[in-house]
A and B are shown apart, each in its own frame.
Chain A
């Protein structure tokens, strides 16, 4: 494909410029990793629209603009979530800002390390490789390699065995600049045996941004290793400016008796593609993936989920609820694979969508592939409009049409938000999604 070649040629140029700026770090483990990753990107290339997983988000639209690497803007201003006490980290244009790190984190009992140091730490690197390997045979791998190739400011967090972190870690991710740029945030979190941690990831607008209508792509990846009996809860709140594209990969690998919960909330961005992948390595795990999203104007929000049940006695839940308005489009493509050995699997998958305008589009494809015979699995999808009878009822009680619509859409998303146990976070999201009934 000619376009693809053009894009890769351009990326090669950007990559060489990036390499020449590495200054003396050219022989490092990190550089080796970057070079290998770029080679892999060229080998695998970007998926085209014929690929089942990329039917509803046009890869070309995301990757075609001639992006250059964004410089770090050290001035980052993001509003705090009222009443929420967290350990804060700031990632600007892909780089962790070390001088913005919450000082309390030093004494919190966990290890925070630079990505290049992590690559030199044998035990961490081994676990990191294990998790990314599981993610690689997917249609997203080109984006994963792109992220790795341009890696410079990534970080890793290690939660020691038995450690229960007292507050959530809040990772604030921003992107800005003046030209058309991309950035590649990346982090790896290892939760060791019987540890418990909560991550709140925020993709936000930088209030000190250099330009108001800056075009850009954030190609973010996060990898989680959830060891035996550990608990990881991951919240993602995304309210990027409407000029940004976002490709996001979240991959978790779960060991025996572990728990992983993921929430994704999207209201911002122009073209948003979320990929989540959970790999179940051993039995008696619990996984829960939930999402609430609102797409307006010409936004596109595309969720891809994959849960790989390879072993018996694991339980997974998926609940994705979206509201699509105006000329926006939404997609859900959920895959649950139940391998022949994964007996006694409990897997439930549901995608519900409210389509509010005749020009809005939603495509839903909940998929179960079951190769074991003693399992309990269900999947379902509903795509509907606001219930006219309910709307009429509310209006007959004196509510304005808009207010009545609002109340009903809020009720629709509440099913997801009601399960968020961090009260200030839940309040904040409700306010931002204007579903504070």
Chain B
């Protein structure tokens, strides 16, 4: 191996910088999962009877289900009785001023603005620590427009009719093993409702932090966009470095009506485990949106750099005619990380369009798979899909796999798929260096160029964050 490739490897051996934990005074349930656990969670949230019933039904169904096995993802069996299903900072907050200084400090350290005066212009934040939402900013400003943006548990009480109507409408409680588990034990999350014709004036953002040890995080996000509304939603996350694996099984549901436009961006940076593959988050997430109305649009953008294992397929059900689904993804795996991610585009309506751009980067001994389904239903005349799946390899011990599934039941549909696999070549590095660029600048330039189509889809501040994150994930010094 030449020097430049060694440096390249060196660049990929960096530390996780959000790995510290904070001492917070916590209210936790004991480890283990029974009906009583589900009842205890529901009781703590003072939930209405229908929601408890909904949870219990999901739980009973989950007990009958078998944990899925995936060909390209390997991990020891999860002991579901060894997990804490509820942990919350004890102090109940009425305003941010009452917040635990430790908590404020924690978000400060993470760089997440939860104090409104410090907030970046144009971003409202819902901060979720372990199982509960601790702060939601700009609520009042948004309420003036009729926008509901709050923690899930709050929405259950303030807007029960909305929650009841849409909860489980896109991802049913029994959808899959982890969705069922989430439905039974989810503790909090974000709820967002955009009324008819309203264009949400700021980015809405949820920040997730797993802090407590031995805890699973099961949050649920529900976004409902009424006719002609528009919203852009961001999600970020981190976790402390711990030797054990922690489970994160979230559900995100998006419901878009006629002419609604929802953009959902994720920068996922859960703790990935150490260089030997010890610890890290199991990120098993179900994200799905339905374009229920004609001409509606849902766009998923994700930058996945963290987690020991990532298993997620943000999907779109394109039910309305002329509706549009998009999926833009950068997934980086390093060391022993495993990622199996992609999307499902289900075309049901006429002239529905979907675009899939997936960029995988594998370094170290990691494995990175794209798994995507494009399904064109019988009635989806004129449906179009374009998929592009590129893989970039750094070093020769990592793997990249592409599994596109195309199911076309309508002869008038147009489905295009492109795939490439390439190596960050010594040729490319040498070329840049021969023009006077340092090795680090050269690597940065090449990798960011490779991801550009996806970064272009992110909101500005997030795109900058994503670029930095990529640099941190793949290099030693940049920060």
Listed in ascending order, the chain A residues whose CB lies under 8 Å from chain B are 376, 378, 380, 382, 384
Contact = CB atoms under 8 A, between A and B. Distances in A.
5 contacts: A376-B420, A378-B418, A380-B416, A382-B414, A384-B414
Contacts of A376: 420
Task: List the 5 closest pairs (A to B, CB-CB), nearest first.
Answer: A378-B418, A380-B416, A382-B414, A376-B420, A384-B414
Interface of B: 414, 416, 418, 420
A378 B416 CA distance: 12
B408 to A, nearest CB: 14
A374 to B, nearest CB: 8
Contacts of A378: 418
A112 B418 CA distance: 48
Contacts of B416: 380
Contacts of B420: 376
B364 to A, nearest CB: 21
A382 B416 CA distance: 10
B353 to A, nearest CB: 14
B43 to A, nearest CB: 58
Nearest to A380: B416
Contacts of B414: 382, 384
Contacts of A382: 414
A286 to B, nearest CB: 20
A378 B418 CA distance: 8
A382 B418 CA distance: 14
A376 B420 CA distance: 8
A312 B418 CA distance: 23
Contacts of A380: 416
B324 to A, nearest CB: 16
A284 to B, nearest CB: 16
A120 to B, nearest CB: 49
A283 to B, nearest CB: 16
A376 B422 CA distance: 9
Nearest to A344: B427
Nearest to B416: A380
A351 to B, nearest CB: 14
A102 B379 CA distance: 63
A372 to B, nearest CB: 13
A384 B418 CA distance: 20
B350 to A, nearest CB: 13
Contacts of B418: 378
A317 to B, nearest CB: 17
A376 B425 CA distance: 14
Contacts of A384: 414
A384 B415 CA distance: 13
A380 B415 CA distance: 11
Nearest to B351: A389
A345 B46 CA distance: 66
A361 to B, nearest CB: 15
A380 B418 CA distance: 10
A384 B411 CA distance: 11
B392 to A, nearest CB: 14
Nearest to B420: A376
Nearest to B418: A378
Nearest to B419: A378
A378 B417 CA distance: 11
A380 B414 CA distance: 12
A24 to B, nearest CB: 63
B449 to A, nearest CB: 16
B420 to A, nearest CB: 8
A376 B418 CA distance: 12
A381 B414 CA distance: 11
B361 to A, nearest CB: 18
B192 to A, nearest CB: 35
B309 to A, nearest CB: 29
B415 to A, nearest CB: 11
B446 to A, nearest CB: 16
A62 B416 CA distance: 37
A118 B324 CA distance: 64
A434 B414 CA distance: 29
A338 to B, nearest CB: 15
A380 B416 CA distance: 9
Nearest to B423: A374
A297 B33 CA distance: 74
A312 to B, nearest CB: 13
A384 B414 CA distance: 9
A298 B249 CA distance: 62
A6 to B, nearest CB: 42
A264 to B, nearest CB: 26
A348 to B, nearest CB: 12
B94 to A, nearest CB: 57
Nearest to A373: B421
A38 B119 CA distance: 87
A378 B414 CA distance: 18
Nearest to A378: B418
A378 B420 CA distance: 10
A313 to B, nearest CB: 12
A7 to B, nearest CB: 40
